[in-house]
């Protein structure tokens, strides 16, 4: 019983950390954008695209580009990273 509780506690702490960490990544405008829609994603494809592109260099296929239009995905457009433009 004690072992199960410990595992649940670890899971809770891990999940809480993830939530807090990811929530901290979102800016004021991102929260506002999120609240402005009635669902978290426009479609399953939109969610799949977001989940597979958590890194700094998103991979965008022609299929993604088409679906973003037909399914009205929201989010920011892919633009160059600052280090592709500037020598800071």
Partner 1 sequence: MRLLLAALLGLTLVSTAGAQRSFEEALLPLPQYRAADARALAEAHAAELRRLYDDVRRCVPELDFFQPGIGFRKPRGKPQLAPHLSVWMVANESGGPGGDDLAARAADAFERYGGRLLRRLLARDPVRADGRVGGYGVVLSWLRSQGDERMGETMVVFVDTASATGFAGGALGARDLLARADIRLFDGDAEKASMRIPVDDARVRPGTDGCP
- Which residues form the interface with partner 1 (CB under 8 A)? 15, 18-19, 22-23, 25-34, 36, 40-41, 46-47, 50-51, 53-54, 57-58, 60, 62, 65-70, 73-81, 83-88
Angstrom distance (rounded) from CA 45 to CA 64? 8
Shortest reach from residue 32's CB to partner 1, in Å: 6
SS (H, E, C) 28-83: HHHHHHHHCCCCCCCCHHHHHHHHHCCCCCCCCCHHHHHHHHHCCCCCCCCCCCHH
Nearest distance in Å: CB 3, partner 1: 22
Q: Which C-beta is closer to partner 1: that of 3 or that of 83?
A: 83
């Amino acid at each position: 019983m004690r072992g199960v509780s410990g595992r649940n506690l670890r899971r809770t702490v891990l999940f809480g950390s993830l939530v807090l960490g990811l929530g901290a990544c979102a800016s004021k405008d991102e929260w506002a954008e999120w609240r402005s829609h009635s669902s978290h994603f426009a479609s399953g494809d939109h969610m799949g695209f977001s989940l597979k592109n958590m890194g700094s260099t998103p991979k965008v296929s022609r299929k993604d580009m088409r679906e973003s239009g037909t399914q009205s995905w929201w989010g920011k457009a892919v633009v160059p990273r600052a280090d592709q433009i500037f020598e800071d």
